[in-house]
Chain A
């Protein structure tokens, strides 16, 4: 068995090194893009979500999900490749070795957890008895910490293994005894893993890269399917706002640090100068859909209420719960394309998309494009 494993080109240091390198890059990309999304939704004091470029959030979250999906075959192949090392004797040779091996538990467990919970989340499936964003966020830190330990421990091994790969085998004493079959087997294995990663990504990425929509056989969303031709995360029925939103008594309240608090009916809002902007709804779950929106610039309503220049606002929805409100910082509030939207693609907003009025702004996470607005509170 040991001889068979030793001769298996799929379980050598070079394969583990190449897969480790690919996983290191993909996990780092996932971590940074995930961190960006976390800060966008829960901004620390030093972070400001810039309104431009308008599609930045869409790109980062598309990359986040696509890279995570690509990492699934990479991780499975890497774990399989290094599995015999689990039984290495002696299991621990020093304190340093013990600490390094101990960090493999959060690395392996965290990696599996991240990919499993991430895939479940994009599929709108929540089998874990915890709040997905919180669990995914903190386990991401745990996994990255373990990855840093692993990189420190394996950097030299990887450097040597990859350096040998760049040298001609016949000049390299360390590879001279390797048969051509082993090298071919290693290349084929890596190509197979790369093909699996690429194919899985290709079969899903069309939920955000529209030209690839036809290939997205496994994507949990279709950017062209849903009410008014694009996806809905939470319907009006699910939000429980159908009666309130349809009521003729609906008003948009503008409150807080303003000279003239307002209570605007839909008709009064319609009389403001209108503006059109093509902006994406971009979800943290990796789908996005660009649409042509028409409505009143938020800045025009703030000006009418006598809000101070450079004000930030909080917008509130008719719905209750976690995403019932969102903050719009000064940069976003002043952007002319941050709209209180009345129409999408030339039609009045459907209830599921936020009728009577919703916020739509450049470079905002989908959950912060608050639907069914009822109040704008202005902060000085």
Chain B
């Protein structure tokens, strides 16, 4: 694929132009303001810990989460035909996101004894309903595709 923003060898060209340099100057100025603010407000921000969490988040993603997800995706692409492998992958990814997002409420970390309004729902049931619904839809979709493929194999109109 070639495009106006690519070099002849297909690599992305280095950034440049007035928009890049303006964005670079403005963006780094804003980041400098943020660092200064975090240092000035060190009683609240705890800068050492803040840096660890910000950099740590990126590292955990790049070194753990992304390779894991990529590995699962490659495995699915390798072992499963796309007509059922891809919907399965989407359902698995969405289920993982729901569990990840709901983890604090599932574990009840923020529930305060004596305050009935904190985390008032049955989140285990909620997550089960959501994930169950996603998998029902996915399996129905895969079932339809299987039927259609069967008809096509038998030469019937789909």
Residue of B nearest to A236 (CB): B114
Using CB atoms and an 8 Å cutoff, list the residues of chain B in contact with chain A.
Answer: 1-5, 11-12, 14-17, 19-24, 26-35, 37-38, 41, 43-46, 49-50, 53-58, 60-62, 66, 69-70, 74, 77, 86, 90, 93-94, 97-98, 101-102, 104-105, 109-112, 114-121, 123, 125-127, 129-130
Q: Kindly provide the distance from the CB of B135 to the nearest chain A CB, expressed in whole angstroms.
A: 13
Is B126 a contact of A196 with CB atoms below 8 Å?
no
For the complex, what is the distance from the CA of A231 to the CA of B118, rounded to whole Å? Answer: 8
Is A86 a contact of B49 with CB atoms below 8 Å?
no
Is the C-beta of A344 less than 8 angstroms from some C-beta in chain B? no
Is A237 a contact of B114 with CB atoms below 8 Å?
yes
Is A123 a contact of B49 with CB atoms below 8 Å?
no
Is B97 a contact of A134 with CB atoms below 8 Å?
no
Give the dominant DSSP class at A's interface: helix
Instruction: Give the total of A residues in contact with B, Cβ under 8 Å.
Output: 89
Please, which residues of chain B bring their CB within 8 A of the CB of A203? Answer: 126, 130
Is the C-beta of A380 less than 8 angstroms from some C-beta in chain B? no
Is the C-beta of A310 less than 8 angstroms from some C-beta in chain B? no
Is A218 a contact of B123 with CB atoms below 8 Å?
yes
Interface string of A256-289 (1 = CB under 8 A from B): 0000000000000000000000000000000000
Q: Kindly provide the distance from the CB of B114 to the nearest chain A CB, expressed in whole angstroms.
A: 6
Is B57 a contact of A148 with CB atoms below 8 Å?
no
A-B contact pairs, 22 of them (CB 8 A): A79-B61, A79-B66, A83-B70, A103-B27, A108-B58, A124-B118, A131-B43, A135-B38, A135-B45, A142-B30, A142-B35, A145-B27, A145-B31, A149-B31, A153-B20, A199-B94, A217-B125, A222-B117, A225-B116, A232-B115, A235-B115, A237-B114
Sort A-B residue pairs by CB-CB distance and give the 3 closest, nearest first.
A152-B23, A124-B110, A134-B44
Residue of B nearest to A72 (CB): B101
Please, which residues of chain B bring their CB within 8 A of the CB of A88? Answer: 11-12
Give the dominant DSSP class at B's interface: helix
Using CB atoms and an 8 Å cutoff, list the residues of chain A in contact with chain B.
Answer: 1, 4, 13, 69, 72-73, 76, 79-80, 83, 86, 88, 93-94, 96-97, 99-100, 103, 105-106, 108-110, 112-113, 116, 119-120, 123-125, 127-131, 133-135, 137-142, 144-153, 155-157, 160-161, 164, 174, 177-178, 185, 188, 192, 196, 199-200, 203, 216-222, 225-227, 230-232, 235, 237-238, 352
Please, which residues of chain B bring their CB within 8 A of the CB of A139? Answer: 34, 38, 50, 54
A110-B54 CB under 8 A given contacts A124-B110, A192-B90: yes
For the complex, what is the distance from the CA of A128 to the CA of B46, rounded to whole Å? Answer: 10
For the complex, what is the distance from the CA of A131 to the CA of B22, rounded to whole Å? Answer: 33
Is A125 a contact of B110 with CB atoms below 8 Å?
yes
Q: Kindly provide the distance from the CB of A224 to the nearest chain B CB, expressed in whole angstroms.
A: 9
Question: Most chain-A Cβ atoms within 10 A of its Cβ — which of B26, B27, B66, B98?
Answer: B27
Please, which residues of chain B bring their CB within 8 A of the CB of A116? Answer: 57
A177-B66 CB under 8 A given contacts A123-B109, A130-B46, A152-B20: no
Residue of A nearest to B96 (CB): A76
Is B104 a contact of A125 with CB atoms below 8 Å?
yes
Q: Which of A96, A149, A156 contacts B28 (CB 8 A)?
A: A149
For the complex, what is the distance from the CA of A187 to the CA of B118, rounded to whole Å? Answer: 39
Is A238 a contact of B115 with CB atoms below 8 Å?
yes
Please, which residues of chain A bring their CB within 8 A of the CB of B2? Answer: 174
Please, which residues of chain A bring their CB within 8 A of the CB of B33? Answer: 141, 145
Is B31 a contact of A119 with CB atoms below 8 Å?
no
Is A153 a contact of B69 with CB atoms below 8 Å?
no
Please, which residues of chain B bring their CB within 8 A of the CB of A128? Answer: 49, 53
For the complex, what is the distance from the CA of A134 to the CA of B38, rounded to whole Å? Answer: 8
For the complex, what is the distance from the CA of A124 to the CA of B69, rounded to whole Å? Answer: 29
Please, which residues of chain B bring their CB within 8 A of the CB of A217? Answer: 121, 123, 125-127, 129-130
Residue of A nearest to B128 (CB): A217
